Copies of this chain bind each other. A is one copy, B any other.
Amino acid sequence: MTESVYKIIELVGSSEKSWEDAMKNLIDEASKTLRDLRIAEVVEMDVKIDKNKIVLYRVRARLSFKYEGK
């Protein structure tokens, strides 16, 4: 087994449609620079409200990826 070191970061994704879609947007953005993502754990969920309507579903998630210096 490899003995690599991983780094944990937390990102917040959002979507007008659903928490699933907010997570998808988060992964899409993270994938641009982080390689080999395998699991994203939900840490917090909320919604933004404007004029009595939900305008954004937001999800805060924890991701791990191979660490290659700061």
Interface residues in chain A, defined as those with a beta carbon under 8 Å from any beta carbon in chain B = 1-16, 18-20, 22-34, 37-42, 44-50, 52-57, 60-61, 64, 67, 69-70
Contact = CB atoms under 8 A, between A and B. Distances in A.
A11 B67 contact: yes
Contacts of A19: 19-20
B34 A40 contact: no
7 contacts: A5-B26, A19-B19, A27-B49, A38-B48, A41-B45, A41-B46, A42-B46
Contacts of A69: 32-33
A48 B49 CA distance: 19
A52 B30 CA distance: 9
